[in-house]
């Protein structure tokens, strides 16, 4: 039995190492690959402790503490991932007043893959709803030659969306600022008296947090528009998103 458990730990450790390498190689500009290195290390420690009854030599109070922490971490992740999954199929509503595309990395040759999926979802919506105005939000990072807002606008224009339907918001550096600054633009253009209908466009795993933050900032009607995510990278994005949800929820409480 213990031998089988050690084999499982070894396989999980190797899987995390391989997955971490694949995340590192895409050059996303984040350090989320470190999460998988950390998990590989934990499975390696579990592999070691499972041999020669080493785990049973650990003081009982420490073992119980580890079990509790693991259970709490798993429960938190299950809740967060369930919340994300509940918005994977969001398609928005027809004829929204505005849609907001949440920025992601701009590369020298155009939007990163993850940003392109968001912009393509916005393009599809704008093509089907000609009265909707789009705000593309995102500032210029140290590894970007142009702001995400401006680069995203150029991309949508290249696909045939009229420039007067696209507003670039070039200063936001996180999801909260994406939404806050975009709401400020809407208020300037539409005034404070009109009730607006707004769509938040982002990758499927990110829609839940985008909607939650937007609803915490405005009484306007908010809905989500979920963009595609390559399945291989979805586990990494969802695990990383758990930390974003926990951080933002704790700030807003």
Got the DSSP string for the chain? -HHHHHHHHHHHHHHHHHHHHHHHHTT-SS-THHHHHHHHHHHHHHHHHTGGGHHHHS-HHHHHHHHHHHHHHHHHHHHHHHHHHTTTT-B--TT-SEEEEEP-PEETTEE-HHHHHHHHHHHHHHHH-TT-EEEEE----TT-SS-HHHHHHHHHHHTT--GGGEEEE----SHHHHHHHHHHHHHHHH-SSSPPEEEEEEEGGGHHHHHHHHHHH-SSEEEEEEEP--GGGHHHHHHHHHHHHHHHHHHH-
Q: Are residues 63 and 115 in the same domain?
A: no
Q: Are residues 45 and 103 in the same domain?
A: no
Q: Are residues 102 and 81 in the same domain?
A: no
The total number of structural domains that make up the chain: 2
Enter the pTM of the model.
0.90
Give the pLDDT score at 29. 64
Would residue 90 count as lying in a domain? Answer: no
pLDDT in tens, the chain (253 residues): 778 899 999 999 999 999 999 999 887 667 889 999 999 999 999 999 999 889 989 999 999 999 999 999 999 999 999 999 999 999 999 999 999 999 999 988 899 999 999 999 999 999 999 999 999 999 998 888 899 999 999 999 999 999 999 999 999 999 999 999 999 999 999 876 788 999 999 999 999 999 999 999 999 999 999 999 999 999 999 999 999 999 998 887 6
Would residue 91 count as lying in a domain? Answer: no
Q: Are residues 102 and 68 in the same domain?
A: no
Q: Are residues 6 and 71 in the same domain?
A: yes
Q: Are residues 136 and 190 in the same domain?
A: yes
Structural domain that includes position 25 = 2-85
Q: Are residues 199 and 134 in the same domain?
A: yes
Would residue 160 count as lying in a domain? Answer: yes
CATH code of the domain in which 219 resides: 3.40.50.620
Examine the fold and report which residue of 63, 85, 107 is the final residue of a domain before the chain moves on: 85
């Amino acid at each position: 039995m213990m031998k089988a458990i050690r084999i499982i730990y070894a396989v999980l450790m190797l899987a995390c190492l391989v997955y971490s390498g694949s995340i590192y190689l895409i050059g996303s500009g984040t350090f989320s690959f470190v999460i998988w290195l950390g998990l590989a290390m934990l499975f390696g420690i579990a592999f070691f402790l499972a041999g020669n009854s080493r785990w049973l030599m650990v003081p009982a109070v420490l073992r119980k503490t580890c079990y509790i922490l693991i259970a709490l971490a798993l429960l938190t992740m299950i809740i967060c991932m369930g919340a994300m999954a509940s918005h994977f199929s969001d398609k928005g509503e027809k004829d929204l007043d505005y849609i907001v595309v949440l920025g992601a990395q701009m590369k020298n040759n155009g939007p990163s893959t993850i940003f392109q999926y968001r912009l393509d979802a916005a393009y599809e919506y704008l093509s089907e709803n000609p009265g909707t105005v789009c705000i593309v939000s995102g500032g210029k990072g140290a590894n970007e030659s142009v702001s995400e807002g401006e680069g995203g606008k150029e991309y949508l224009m290249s696909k045939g969306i009229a420039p007067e339907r696209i507003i670039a918001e070039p200063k936001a550096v996180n999801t909260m600022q994406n939404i806050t600054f975009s709401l400020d633009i809407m208020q300037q253009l539409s005034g404070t008296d009109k009730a607006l209908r707004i769509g938040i466009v982002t990758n499927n795993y990110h829609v839940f947090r985008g909607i939650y933050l937007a609803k915490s900032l405005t009484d306007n009607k908010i809905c989500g528009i979920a963009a595609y995510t390559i399945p291989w990278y979805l586990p990494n994005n969802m695990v990383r998103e758990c930390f974003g949800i926990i951080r933002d929820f704790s700030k807003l409480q």
